[in-house]
Amino acid sequence: MDQDSPKPGKLYLWLDERVGLSDFAKLAKKKEVPQHRHTFWYYFGGMTLFLFAIQVGTGILLLLYYRPSASEAFESIQFIMTEVEFGWLVRSVHSWSANLMVFAMFIHLFSALMLNAYRRPREMTWLSGSGLLGLTLAFGFTGYLLPWNELAYFATRVGTEIPGVIPVIGPFLRRLLRGGNEVTGATLTRFYGIHVAILPALVTVVLGLHLFMVQKHGMSRPPSVAGGDEGKRTMPFFPNFFLRDLVGWLCALGVLAALAAYFPAELGKKADPFQPAPIGIKPEWYFMAMFQTLKLLPAHILGIEGELLGVLGFALIGLILIAMPFLDRGAAWGKPSRLAAIFGALLISYSIILTYLGYTMSPIK
Amino acid sequence: MANDETSLAVDHGRRNLLNWFLSTTAGAFLVSVTYPLSRYLIPPEVEESTASTVTLAIKPNDVKANSGQIFRFGSQAGILVKDSNGKLKAFSAVCTHLACIVQYRADVSHIWCACHNGHFDLNGRNVAGPPPKPLEQFVVNVRADQIVVSKRG
């Protein structure tokens, strides 16, 4: 304790003796964050975490009214949206916060990629982050089905058909995912269990590892700013960085509240397996680039089915991304990496172009 | 010294035996947990409708030329199409690309999948877009005032 800081109260002393609060205080005091022209990008990890906390809170609230069966799911969400007081708000916040969380996570991912934060000794931080990316997309995919509306139904039909194109094990994987040969109420309960129990349990473990690694190694200073004065400057985590983090969270909360209030989540029509897929059907925006790719690929390329080639391509991109710390030997020695920069720029431009096409191309031509 | 060495050797033998018991027990325990667990996760086979024929609820004369509609064929969806010459045809409505339900497009007289813009002609052939295979075709028989659709073969 500093001389001029207020005298600790009795409660603090009581707790400190039992829990060791002053150890945490010391830890927080010691923690420093590198300060340089790219410091801004550090805020997006925390922002993703903040939005995840909102997902947990609103998700628990939705559980109180949601009923996971093909005959009741749609109606229970209708009930939440129209009868339950502020039900529309809770569901809209859950839906928008999911989107913002994925967006913040992508910024976090690409900034870590471009600034070579994955390099030695942070390989485990990168790998656990890749795991969280996969888990988040799985959250998005399974959550999309739960309202049991037309869009969700066909998105899930297509999405679960995709692993089905893998030779040999494909059909088995598809069955395992769907809980049967078709997308039915069995798929809904399965996705529900995955969404509210299995994924949260996995995230708890992987997120714990990710945060622990971040604490252990601190934030990575990019190789491009490692030299000179900028290469040494830091700011204390508490309160300087933490307060800036809070400003970021407040901004995110503001955007979230505005989106949820002005653009409440829609529900659409109830799923009907005996109706054609609706014209203009599309997935969540973060799957749009993949969706559009599958749409544009011809039936056969060099004798191989187009969709299989597409799926293999996505898998390859994912693998390169995960393996980046091991592929990029230059960054390991503290040199700014051209490989990561080119790969990142290509991936970002490809995704933006295909997503743009997905939203603008006529659905019937 | 010699005594010590023999006792060490005996210890190793005993330890190896105990380790063997321990690891086989642990292994057996692991299998007895993971086997039921993995069997539980694989959904049981549900008896599918094996009907190879279905009588539609619609009368032949109520189907307009150059139109199509979805019908139930067991647990699957089928599509009944009447071409501009008034001939009735039926196909599986499950797109061969990624299994969306197709629909009839009167403007181009094609069977069309909205999901990834796949086109099939009125013989079920994949003519444009990503579908890799033709739609499965069914046999349509008109008996008196009824449309009967059956699987081939």
Interface A-B: count of C-beta contacts within 8 A:
88
B97 touches chain A (CB under 8 A): yes
Closest CA to A295 of B136, B95, B137: B95
Distance CA A238, CA A246 (A): 11
A198 touches chain B (CB under 8 A): no
Residue B8 pLDDT level (bands cut at 50, 70, 90):
low
A299 touches chain B (CB under 8 A): yes
Give pLDDT, residue B6.
53
Rounded to a whole number, what is the distance in Å from the CA of B24 to chain A's nearest CA?
29
Give pLDDT, residue A338.
86
Decide if A363 and B41 are in contact by the 8 Å CB cutoff: no
| Contacts within 8 Å (CB) and 24+ apart, A97-100 | A97/A51, A97/A54, A97/A55, A97/A58, A97/A256, A98/A55, A98/A139, A98/A140, A98/A143, A99/A284, A99/A285, A99/A286, A100/A51, A100/A252, A100/A255, A100/A256, A100/A259
B135 touches chain A (CB under 8 A): no
Please list every residue in chain A whose beta carbon sits closer than 8 Å to the beta carbon of residue B75: 182
Closest CA to A350 of A305, A310, A308: A310
* Cross-chain CB nearest to B97 (options A179, A281, A307): A307
Closest CA to A68 of A80, A79, A76: A76
A347 touches chain B (CB under 8 A): no
Beta strands (DSSP E) in chain A are 32-34, 234-236, 300-301, 304-305
Q: Do residues A306 and A300 lie in contact, with contact meaning Cβ atoms separated by under 8 Å?
A: yes
Distance CA A145, CA A69 (A): 11
Q: Do residues A183 and A157 lie in contact, with contact meaning Cβ atoms separated by under 8 Å?
A: yes
Residue B31 pLDDT level (bands cut at 50, 70, 90):
very high
Among chain A residues, CA nearest to B111: A276
Counting Cβ atoms within 10 Å, is residue A78 exposed (0-12), middle (13-18) or buried (19+)?
middle
pLDDT per position as a tens digit, B67-102:
999 999 888 899 999 999 989 999 999 999 999 999
Give pLDDT, residue B1.
46
Among chain A residues, CA nearest to B104: A276
pTM of the entire predicted model: 0.90
Q: Do residues B68 and B111 lie in contact, with contact meaning Cβ atoms separated by under 8 Å?
A: yes
pLDDT per position as a tens digit, A18-64:
999 998 888 888 899 999 999 999 999 999 999 999 999 999 999 99
Give pLDDT, residue B26.
97
Decide if A273 and B102 are in contact by the 8 Å CB cutoff: no
C-alpha distances in angstroms, A256 versus A88, A141, A250, A314, A329? 14, 20, 10, 30, 40
Which ipTM did the prediction report? 0.84
The whole-angstrom distance between residue A36's C-alpha and the CA centroid of its chain comes to: 26
* Pairing assessment for the beta strands B110-113 and B103-105 based on DSSP bridges: antiparallel
Q: Is B141 helix (H, G, I), strand (E, B) or coil?
A: strand
A173 touches chain B (CB under 8 A): no
